Each structure stands twice: as C-alpha cells, then as structure tokens.
Amino acid sequence: MANESLWQRLFDAVKVRMQGIHTANGYETTVGAKMFAWRDLGRSPFSEAELATSLGGFCLRDANRKTEPGLVINKHDHTLQIEMLGACFASASSPPDNYARRMLCDIDKAIGVDLKWTVSGTALARDTIAGEDVIEAAHAGERLVVVRKTFTIIFRTARFDPYTQ
C-alpha cells in the first residue's frame, strides 16, 4: 500500500521471503508452509494436528526496533530485530536436532537471498545482521523440534518520517 511505513514494508518482505521456504524452491525443509505473523502462541499454540506433518508452524515477529539519529543530517537509522519461533515434528529419517539445524539453515539461506530486502527494484534496508539460533528437542511421544532464530535488519528513514527513505 502507498501509505505503509518502511518498517511495515520490511516486515512484509521478510514474511513473503520466509513463506517461500519449500523443498520445491531448493530448500531442505518446508518451513514457509505455515508462517504466521504475530501469532499469540500463549493463547493459540500450535496444535498437535498442525505439527503432525513435517510442515510444522512458524511465528514471525518484529519484536524490537531501535532508532538513533542518523550519521546523515535529517535521517534516522533503525535496527529492527526479527524473531522467528517454530515447532515441527521431525521426519522419521532425521533426528530432531538434525532437522532443527536444517530448518535454521534454510532460514539463513532465505535471508541471504538479498540482505537489503529489495522489493520492486527498491532496497528497503542497508544490511542484515545474523543473530542467535536456539534449538530445543523433545521426545514426548513424537520427535518435537522447537527453534528460535533472530536477525537484525538495519534501515534508514527521513528524520521523523517513517514513510520515506
């Protein structure tokens, strides 16, 4: 939309890219099949039925944005932290921790497609910085894998104008 902030356009670009993580697109997993923006996992956790397939579920959040005066007059520099939380039953042919690493590597690969998050020929960001990966695996009847991935997008807007680069 014409009146969306650069922050919103970046979040949308991340979501679209992450939704493209499928084996048909050259990835090892199908992390992108069930990608939710800001799903309240406390009130609406992933159900066993959602996790029963190797698709699993992921929640994408833009948990933190920090703004500083830019190095350029009349600009603000921003760091936007993106967090991805996911859960999936590991496939029968892969131990849960191995599958978790494959999911996290696919997310890395997707981020690396374009660190400036270019949409319609316009680079929305200045850079993307890798963050933290966390793996939890449980064997509660099924081989459940839970992962958390963070990364930071650096972008610039006009001073006090979040709609203009």
Residue found under tokens 């839970």: 146
For the full predicted model, state whether its pTM sits above 0.85: yes
Q: 6-158: which CATH topology?
A: Alpha-Beta Plaits (3.30.70)
Contact 141, 52 (CB under 8 A): no
Domain ranges of the chain: 6-158
The region of weakest confidence among 14-23, 82-91, 108-117, 139-148 is: 139-148
17-72 pLDDT per residue, tens: 999 999 999 998 888 888 888 877 677 677 666 666 656 778 899 989 999 887 88
Which carries the bigger pLDDT value, residue 92 or residue 15?
15
- The predicted structure's pLDDT at residue 38: 80
CA distance 28 to 112: 15
Model confidence at 153, pLDDT cuts 50, 70, 90, reads very high
